[in-house]
Structure 1
Amino acid sequence: MPINAIIVDDEEYSRKSLFFLIDGYCPSVKIKGIARSVAEARTLLKADIIDLVFLDIAMPVEDGFSLLPDLQKNVTSVIITTAYNQYAIKAIRASAVDYLLKPIDIQELQDSIDKAVDLKAQSSENEFFTSNQEPLFSSLHENLNEIKKIKKLNLPHSNGFHVLNISNILYIQADSNYSIFHVEKSEKIVVSKHLKEYESILDDCGFCRIHKSTMINLAHLQSYSNRNGLVVKMSDNTEHSVSRRRSPEFMETVKEMFKK
């Protein structure tokens, strides 16, 4: 299934480099236009049906965020191309938006385009999926506007996304290649991603990995006891073991939390 795409980037080298990579290695993508600014991108979006936008964020006059409402309106997917720091990468990943870190790797580019092709196929078959673009983009904007802490997490499923407030997550459990989210006053949510991926996103957000199969939100920690091995009790009254290997890190994290 062919993908119509545009490139939006204020840097000439970045525009040309990405164009030649796509032209040479990604036959499923047809570049319908290249924009040097958000204003030029809006013109391209009006002129043709665009399935995918390769979007740089840091641009003068209007940054890439300014284009997000237009992408929502046109039900257009986005792959962010960025040289941002590690925090911004976490925010993008938490929002379930795909990204390419500059300089762009060919294999990563091909993988991202494969996801976009799958997304187009799903959206053509399922109207509900296309309606979920709005919370996806709004979560991205909110996470990147927050200076120090990610506030929302988008969890993809077959029909779209669950959008969670980080503060409402009680704990996350690993089950083979899946992560099971236990959420305050809600049904558990199963996501087909490894727990390690969410650990890297949430490690600065008050979460602590206490076991190879469990990560908890310390904001919902009710008590802990070392009477018969270290065990934590959460606000939903569930109890979870802290592994011997992870107990020193857990205790240190809890001490730091109490200091604050």
Structure 2
Amino acid sequence: MNAIIVDDEEYSRQSLFFLINGYCPDVKVRGIARSVAEARSLLKSEQIDVVFLDIAMPVEDGFSLLPDLQRNITSVIFTTAYNQYAIKAIRASAVDYLLKPIDIQELQDSIGKAADWKSRTSDNDLLAASHETVFSSLNENLNEIKKIKKLNLPHSNGFHVLNISNILYIKADSNYSIFHIDKGEKIVVSKHLKEYESILEDCEFCRIHKSTMINLSHLQSYSNKNGLVVKMSDGTEHSVSRRRSPGFMDTVKDMFKK
């Protein structure tokens, strides 16, 4: 794959360049940009498959390049030194990212995902559609500063795009997460529930059991008559573990206050 690196810090640019050259033989770095403007020029002169993109840069931040990447059907791997709100938006949109200082194994894993996506989506129209799904969800999530609004769930040929409000609850099943949607549908994703817990923790979702996370906006009732049990809007009931009961009650009280 052909790649470019976009970062305003010289040390970060050079260290990532040497990591890719030394440990990622299937990637050829075709250019290094110090700004979004320089990156645009590189995208015009080269056919680029993946961009390693810093977020915090002067004049224009990394997100300003997203429309150009969408037009060029180019994958993006964000490289950043902070893991605040933007990271949640990125993860919810199923976009890959690397925290600085960059770990070699994580770098190789990210490149492997980009290569796998490109090889599985060989049809150019499907590839363009997948990129449009990713970038439109990411833009929508970034525009809402406090809450994630959409969640991209990857499958073998693309993504399921869910509005957060349509998720009733998520169940863990070994290394998989099963999303239960308000129309009775189920979507199985090969990721741990813990990953989605960290993405949705500020979106009125609450982990009530090691195997269950619920959307509190679909909570219908709860009772502690025979152990704490919640009832959801679809009529299903779920136990709240003893360890998580205090946190659940505090979260519900805070939600009612709001």
2:88 paired with 1:105: no
SS in 1 for 2:121: helix
Equivalent residues in 2 for 1:136-155, closer than 5 Å: 136-155=134-153
Report the residue type matching 2:17 in the other structure.
F
**Aligned counterparts of 2:42 and 2:151: Cα–Cα separation in 1:** 31
Report the residue type matching 1:19 in the other structure.
F
Equivalent residues in 2 for 1:102-181, closer than 5 Å: 102-124=100-122, 127-181=125-179
Please give the per-residue CA displacement for 1:101-141, whole angstroms capped at 9, x wherever unaligned. 11211121111111111112112168534411112112222
Report the residue type matching 1:195 in the other structure.
L
Report the residue type matching 1:24 in the other structure.
G
* Contact 1:92–1:98 under 8 Å retained in 2: yes
Count of residue pairs brought into register by the alignment: 258
Determine the structure 1 residue equivalent to 2:180. 182
**Aligned counterparts of 1:123 and 1:71: Cα–Cα separation in 2:** 17
**Aligned counterparts of 1:172 and 1:85: Cα–Cα separation in 2:** 24
Equivalent residues in 2 for 1:25-44, closer than 5 Å: 25-44=23-42
Please give the per-residue CA displacement for 1:196-233, whole angstroms capped at 9, x wherever unaligned. 11111111211111112110000110101112222111
Determine the structure 1 residue equivalent to 2:206. 208
**Aligned counterparts of 1:42 and 1:195: Cα–Cα separation in 2:** 37
* Contact 2:73–2:127 under 8 Å retained in 1: no
Deviation of 1:242 (Å): 1.4
* Contact 1:211–1:242 under 8 Å retained in 2: yes
Compared CA separation, residues 106 and 36, structure 1 to 2 (3 A): same
Deviation of 1:86 (Å): 2.7
Which is further off, 39-48 or 210-219? 39-48
Determine the structure 1 residue equivalent to 2:227. 229
Please give the per-residue CA displacement for 1:164-201, whole angstroms capped at 9, x wherever unaligned. 12122111011121111111236211111111111111
Give runs of ≥4 in structure 1 deviating > 6 Å.
none
Report the residue type matching 1:140 in the other structure.
L
**Aligned counterparts of 2:20 and 2:39: Cα–Cα separation in 1:** 18
User: Which segments of 5 or more consecutive residues in structure 1 lack a partner in the other structure?
Assistant: none
* Contact 1:129–1:159 under 8 Å retained in 2: no
* Contact 2:50–2:76 under 8 Å retained in 1: yes
* Contact 1:38–1:63 under 8 Å retained in 2: yes
Q: TM-score w.r.t. structure 2 length?
A: 0.94
Deviation of 1:43 (Å): 1.6
* Contact 1:126–1:159 under 8 Å retained in 2: no
Identical columns (%): 83
2:84 paired with 1:86: yes
Q: TM-score w.r.t. structure 1 length?
A: 0.94
